[in-house]
Amino acid sequence: MKGEDERLAATATTNAAGVRETAGLPNFAEVVDRHKAMVFSILWHYLRDRTAAEEVAQDVFLELHRSWDAMKSAEHIVFWLRRVTSHRAIDCARRKRLHLETSLEATAEPTALERVHDSFLSSYLERMVASLPEKQRIVIVLRYQEGLELEQIADVLGIKISTVKTQIFRGLELLRAKTAQRLGRTVE
Amino acid sequence: MTPFEEQLKQAMARREPAEDFARRVLERADREGGQQAESGGRRVGGKRVWFSALSGWFHSPRVLRFSAAAALLAVSGGVVFQQHEQSERGEAAKEKLLTAVRIAGVKLRQVHRHVLEVETPEVEQ
Amino acid sequence: MRWRTTAMVAAVVMAAPLWALDDIHTLPSLDKLAQRAKESVDVTLDASMLQLASGFLSADDPDEMRVKKLVAKLKGIYVRSLEFDREGEYGASDVEGVRALVRAPGWTRIVGVKSLKGENSEVYVKKEGSQVGGIVVIDTEPKELTIVAIDGPIDPEELSELGGHLGIPKLGRGKTKAEKGSSKGDQ
């Protein structure tokens, strides 16, 4: 790894904004364009507040801009973005004391409607995810929005794989139970 | 993956931020890059010389603005929270509206179908 | 003379509408039914809530824009939909409160349909000149009761245009009994 860092440093130049551009790394503007949906969506699904999600997403990319020197590869950038975004989402929710972790009965609209159109179930599930406890919420978002494996989620959040497994299991159980209760049918 | 997990994956599909999001990020990044230059700090081998960095930091427009920003923080925090609450209420109201329109549309459809199909229609003008 | 004045005032007060369409969401009989229902949908959106909701409809979503256009001038939308585990959980008297609301002047029943399966549907409209100033749909099924009340100028055609969108089935013209009979004869 050290050898690779030296090789990358040797090929670096500094652009007009004072950000080092390393051969093999995309430029900052490309990174923003390519990954803005990922960053925004993690925040949206966690916070359920579009304004807050966009604000924090901007802060994440500016942090990346300040930390550009430390970026080693395109994959490293993605990992870094997921990690920082996840932590910022948790921090933002705590700071604002968002009462998302309320009783699911309080957040859910009774849904005889799901029988009319299955797509309504998607928005219902989105809202239910946003009302999960903090740890379950972030692992569910990383698993089902980003499609990450358990080991990857553990790396991003800096927690044990066993913890990831437990939180996903509990999160899914809670979502299944509440969905089944509302729909009045068994959910596989 | 179970069918429920597939449904959950569908629900968790990525969304795009506002159209001008990238432009705003790049503008702010450019401004920050300019502010770094103004601060007087020098990069030497990737590290700032600590005394010139410190001097630059004290004279940084950012530091001067920080004091004013801190005073506004308490007020703006309340405003942001109110905006969040308004956003939550609005989204909930929107869901209810779509629910109501769907049910109304379905029921009117059913009535129309009944008029066409049932044994004893009584269609009045 | 005083008793005459009092009687006249009382007569005027009693003649004035003592109800409004938004009373649907406060009918005690429906609240009692909701407690027995397996599932219930209760939507109450007055003018201010409609405005709030409308502001959050997405300009990028054509369906939501259709809804925005539909509700632009409405004063309220009220929906009570109740689903029961068993038949016989409610009766005609439970719905009488709603029917009383639409027996007021200005309301006309335009459709009353009964089916052999026990599904009955009634549609009432409030005429205001040449426009429709409100719609009430009362749909009763053995295990389900739905009441929809829309207060304000609405174009039923626009509501129909939502067919195929928002999960509302498109209106496919089903065969009438006469058509079914003639097709059998052709065989």
pLDDT digits (tens, 9 = 90+) for C23-52: 555 565 677 788 888 888 888 888 888 988
- Residue C184 forms part of a structural domain: no
Instruction: Tell me, yes or no, whether C103 lies in a domain.
Output: yes
CB distance C175 to B113 below 8 Å: no
B chain contacts of residue A109, beta-carbon cutoff 8 Å: 92, 95-96, 99
Nearest by CB to C38, which of A111, A117, A184? Answer: A184
Partners of chain B (3+ Cβ pairs below 8 A): A, C
C-beta separation of B49 from A85 below 8 A: no
DSSP state, C169? P
Q: At what angle do helices B61-117 and C47-55 cross, to 10 degrees?
A: 110
- In this prediction, the answer to ipTM > 0.90 reads no
Helices (H), chain C: 2-15, 28-36, 47-55, 62-71, 92-101, 156-161, 177-186
* CB contacts, 8 Å: A13 with chain B: none
Q: Which residues pair with C127 in a beta bridge?
A: C132
Q: How far is C168 from chain B (nearest CA, A)?
A: 6
Instruction: Please determine, for residue B125, whether its predicted confidence score (pLDDT) is greater than 60.
Output: no
Residue A70 CB coordination number (10 Å): 11
Q: How far apart are CA A92 and CA A98, in angstroms?
A: 9
pLDDT at residue number C166: 58
Torsion of the alpha carbons at C35, C36, C40 and C44, rounded to the nearest 10: -40
Choice among A45-49, A113-117, A176-180, B15-19 with the minimum mean pLDDT = A113-117
Binary contact (A109, C41; C-beta < 8 A)? yes
Instruction: Give CA angle at C157 (C153, C158), nearest 5°.
Output: 70
* pLDDT of amino acid C162: 62
Q: Beta strands of C32-156 (E only): which ranges? A: 39-46, 76-83, 107-114, 120-128, 131-141, 144-151
How confident is residue B24, by pLDDT bands cut at 50, 70 and 90? very high
Amino acid identity of residue C136, one-letter, is V
In a domain, C13, yes or no: yes
Closest CA to A56 of C111, A64, C46, A104: A64
Residue A179 pLDDT greater than 90, yes or no:
no
- Tell me, yes or no, whether C105 lies in a domain: yes
What type of residue is B5?
Answer: E
pLDDT tens-place string over residues A29-83: 999 999 999 999 999 999 988 889 999 999 999 999 999 989 999 999 999 999 9
Looking at residue B105, what is its pLDDT?
A: 80
State whether residue B85 sits within 8 Å of chain C by CB. no
Instruction: Indicate yes or no: pTM above 0.80.
Output: no
Distance from CA of C10 to the nearest CA of A (A): 43
What was the pLDDT predicted at B123? 47
Q: Quick one: what percent of chain C has pLDDT higher than 70?
A: 67
In a domain, C186, yes or no: no
Nearest to C154 by CA among C128, C182, C176: C128
pLDDT given for residue A4 in this prediction: 41
Tens-place pLDDT, residues B29-85: 998 876 655 444 444 333 444 444 455 555 566 666 666 666 667 666 667 667 777
3-state SS, one letter per residue, for chain B: CCHHHHHHHHHCCCCCCCCCHHHHHHHHHHHHHHHHHHCCCCEECCEECHHHHHHHHHCCHHHHHHHHHHHHHHHHHHHHHHHHHHHHHHHHHHHHHHHHHHHHHHHHHHHHHHHHHCCEEEECC
> Does any domain span residue C122?
yes
> In the prediction, which pLDDT does B68 show?
63
CB-nearest to B105 from C50, C64, C162 is: C162
User: For position C66, what pLDDT does the model report?
Assistant: 83
- pLDDT at res. A113: 40
Task: Say what the pLDDT of residue C168 is.
Answer: 56
Q: Please, which residues 4-23 of chain C have a Cβ atom closer than 8 Å to chain B?
A: none
- Domain-embedded: residue C89: yes
Q: Is residue C67 part of a domain?
A: yes
Residue at token pair 């304000």: C152
Q: Hey, are the CB atoms on C116 and B119 less than 8 Å from each other?
A: yes
**Does the CB of C49 have a partner CB in chain A at under 8 Å?**
no
Task: State whether the Cα torsion A142-A144-A149-A150 is positive or negative.
Answer: positive
pLDDT tens track for A113-153: 443 344 456 767 888 898 898 899 999 999 999 999 999 99
| Residues of chain C above pLDDT 90, percent | 1
Chain C residues with CB under 8 Å of A112 CB are 39-41, 81, 83
**Beta strands C76-83 and C39-46, pairing class:** antiparallel
Mean pLDDT of chain A: 78
Joined tokens for residue B91: 């989204």
Residues 137-166 of chain C with CB under 8 A from chain B are: 137, 139, 146, 148, 150, 156, 159-160, 162-163, 166
C148–B107 C-beta distance less than 8 A? yes
Across the interface, which of B100, B107, B116 has its CB nearest the CB of C77? B100
Q: Is B120 on the interface with C (CB under 8 A)?
A: yes
First to last CA, chain C: 81
pLDDT over 50 (residue A173) = yes
Q: What is the dihedral of CA A176, A178, A181, A186, to 10 degrees?
A: 0
**d(C-alpha B9, C-alpha B1), whole Å:** 10
Task: Convert the pLDDT of each residue in C99-157 to its tens digit.
Answer: 888 888 888 888 888 877 788 888 888 888 778 888 888 989 888 899 988 888 887 66
Contact between chains at C168 and A120 (C-beta distance less than 8 A)? no
Lowest mean pLDDT among A94-103, A170-179, B93-102, C10-19: C10-19
Is C44 near chain A, with CB under 8 Å?
no
What letter represents residue C185's amino acid? Answer: G
Q: How confident is the model at residue C22 (pLDDT cuts 50, 70, 90)?
A: low
Q: What is the DSSP letter of C90?
A: S
pLDDT of amino acid A9: 42
Residue C71 pLDDT greater than 70, yes or no:
yes
CA nearest to C85 within chain A: A184
Q: B104 burial class (0-12, 13-18, 19+ CB within 10 angstroms)? A: buried
Option in A112, A119, A184 nearest C41 (CB): A112
Domains in chain C, number: 1
Q: What domain range includes position C136?
A: 2-172
